[in-house]
A and B are shown apart, each in its own frame.
Chain A
Amino acid sequence: MAGKTLSELAKTIRSKNAGVDRITFDVIFRDRENYELVKGSGVLSRDSVARLYRIDPARITDFVNYDPAFAIKFTILRSRPSGSAGDSDIFGAQQYAPLLSVEVPVD
């Protein structure tokens, strides 16, 4: 069984503030096939994402498979509100990078 990375399979992988206390992550696929493949593979879940980001799963406030847009979406509670002294990503725009190399099993 070969593997592909999420960056090979997804059209868009992004992160952005959802309000001042959260960062939301969108993994969007061009077609149903790749969306269902990743959704069914289970490589993205509350637990796997918590492990990837080294955070307590309780900080993942939402985890949704969003069929109309072929998207998997989750949201993380920030450790401090955006733009506080010590926050290095006011817009939350560069937090998605670890998702790019997540391996997805492909038959």
Chain B
Amino acid sequence: MMSSNTGPTLRFLCPNGHLGFAPIKVPSFELGVATRPDFILADSGSDDIGPVPLGQDTSTSPKEWQRHDLEHMLLAARKLGVPMLIGSAGDTGTNSRVDMYVGMIREIAAQHGLAPFKLGYFYSEVPKSYLRAKMSSGERVEGLDGRGDLTTHELEATDRVVAVAGVHPYMELLRRGADVIIGGRSSDAVIFAAPAILAGYPEPLAYYLGKVLECASFNAEPYAGKESVIGEISHADVKVTAMHPGQRCTVASVAGHAMYERSNPFYEHVAGGMLDMTDCRYEQYDERTTRVTGPRFVKADKVRVKLEGSGKVGERYMGFAGVRDPYTIARIDEVIDWARQQVRERFGEPATGGYELHYQVYGRDGVMGEMEPLRNSPGHELGIMVFGVATTAEMAEEVALTGTRQMFYARLPDVKGTAGGVAFPLDEVTRVSPAYRWTLNHTVAVDDPLELFELHTTEAGVSAVGSGGR
């Protein structure tokens, strides 16, 4: 175990940067557990996965993988007698995902005959009526990242909204004695910051600790996901150590991680303030440990909570076609225009007809679209994905099928091949997930940082007399 000259410390074990997305690597987790950390924690959600899971209230991760990680973490935490904290349950942190994880914790506890423990959880979903009321009282729901204020129209187009929690619900549940916490949607860093702040450690270091640990081994090198790391906070610094014997937390890997997945490497916004990493200093402490000092935390005058919202656009079908004739490849936009025109003749313009038709031309600019510098140098063959979106499944199917099949009939003036303009690996279109879009990337001001989050505590585990924790 590491020692420090900086007085008392707390040590935090993080095995996974997005619990459930891929299973943890158990050996490095066990190495971490063997050092007897004070907390075992992981974030389980992300807005990276697109708006579909939030919109339709599903997970993108398989239940078995979620359960695998929860089981390892719970058994270790109960054996050590230390708190376990999970944030953004089930990818989206919606209420149904929190309930699902709470259910899994109960099942795992019962299955292993764990002694009773206190299980805390909180919900992050925000009713649209709450936001409607805020807006009609003149309160602005402010857009982030260049978005305008939320409009009633966009709110009504939204199916589900989650608020992104700060440290507050975690600290309150810890105060109530929770041994295990399952959180709704939360900022990744706060899961780690909350216990440290509650224990009296400085806020800047606590938030920095969370920031550097939330993606687990992504802060170490060489690159390897799902390996455990340990963060140690004192009153003067944060130290972070890779648990996998082949990984090291270096100045470069730790400093580099500060900029991962954010617009700017210096600032991290959470409900209640902003972590400022401008003056962070990084030192190699030992071979596998980097020491960090100097973060600041700027408290907000008024707490603003981030909101994520997803709204359904329509049902969605997908088709696929390939092209090999160089003449056709050079005129692929004309081929697509022809197919679009056939859809237009059937349903009218997309806006008035109530549909969307999208083409992704792989081999030309399928990955980058308009940002592709080489879009004028297509490959010798193209793969074209076609997406039709409409209110009803029947119409979405017809849009996608027309948009796909009509490429076969495109009328190019000098084409030699007159028996079909594209190649079909399947002469059909297939139903895929409905199309959703991010309708809310906004913030709302709150008087009480807990007002958007509904807290619960209960018991889990098996009591001595053998009755269930319920």
Contacts and interface: CB of A to CB of B under 8 A. Distances in A.
B256 A19 contact: no
Nearest to A76: B371
Contact of A86 (B51, B255, B260, B387): B387
Contact of B51 (A64, A79, A83): A83
Contacts of B282: 68
Contacts of B112: none
A89 interface: yes
A88 B258 CA distance: 27
Interface stretch (A1-9, A24-32, A38-46): A24-32
B367 interface: yes
Interface in B334-380: 356, 358, 360, 366-374
B353 to A, nearest CB: 15
B91 to A, nearest CB: 13
Q: In which size bucket is the chain A interface?
A: 35 or more
B49 interface: yes
B263 A18 contact: yes
A54 B373 contact: yes
Given A52-B373, A82-B48, A89-B367, A75 B263 contact: yes
Nearest to B373: A98
A28 to B, nearest CB: 6
A52 B375 CA distance: 12
B226 interface: no
Contact of A73 (B147, B251, B252, B265): B265
A92 B370 CA distance: 14
A77 B145 contact: yes
Contacts of A69: 252, 255-256, 258-259, 265
Nearest to B46: A17
Contacts of B394: none
Given A20-B438, A86-B356, A98-B373, A26 B48 contact: no
Contacts of A62: 263-264
A104 interface: no
A90 B46 CA distance: 12
B256 A12 contact: yes
Q: How large is the interface on B (under 10, 10 to 19, 20 to 34, 35 or more residues)?
A: 35 or more
B261 A24 contact: yes
Given A20-B47, A21-B438, A85 B389 contact: yes
Contacts of A89: 367-368
A34 to B, nearest CB: 12
B47 A64 contact: no
A97 B147 CA distance: 28
Interface in A45-82: 52-55, 61-62, 64, 66, 68-71, 73, 75-77, 79-82
A44 B150 CA distance: 35
A77 B372 CA distance: 15
B450 to A, nearest CB: 24
B145 A61 contact: yes
B375 to A, nearest CB: 9
Q: Which of B48, B258, B282, B387 has the most A CB atoms < 10 Å from its CB?
A: B48
A90 B265 contact: no
Contacts of A19: 47, 144-145, 262-263, 441
Given A68-B255, A70-B252, A73-B259, A83 B356 contact: no
A79 B441 contact: no
A24 to B, nearest CB: 6
A68 B253 CA distance: 10
A82 B369 CA distance: 13
A63 B131 CA distance: 34
Contacts of B389: 85
Contact of A79 (B358, B369, B374): B369
A23 B109 CA distance: 41
Contacts of B144: 19, 21
Contacts of B48: 17, 82, 90-91
Contact of B265 (A53, A66, A82): A66
Contacts of A88: 360, 366-369
A21 B435 contact: no
B263 A24 contact: yes
A61 B263 CA distance: 8
B417 interface: no
Contacts of B371: 53-55, 76, 95, 98
Contacts of A52: 373
Contacts of A64: 264-266
Given A26-B256, A77-B146, A84 B438 contact: yes
A95 B147 CA distance: 22
A70 to B, nearest CB: 7
A11 B50 CA distance: 29
B40 to A, nearest CB: 26
Interface in B250-291: 251-252, 255-256, 258-266, 280-282
B356 A85 contact: yes
14 contacts: A19-B47, A19-B441, A20-B308, A21-B441, A54-B373, A68-B251, A69-B256, A79-B369, A81-B438, A81-B441, A82-B438, A83-B51, A85-B437, A98-B371
Closest CB pairs A-B (n = 8): A83-B50, A86-B358, A69-B255, A85-B435, A81-B438, A21-B145, A68-B255, A75-B263
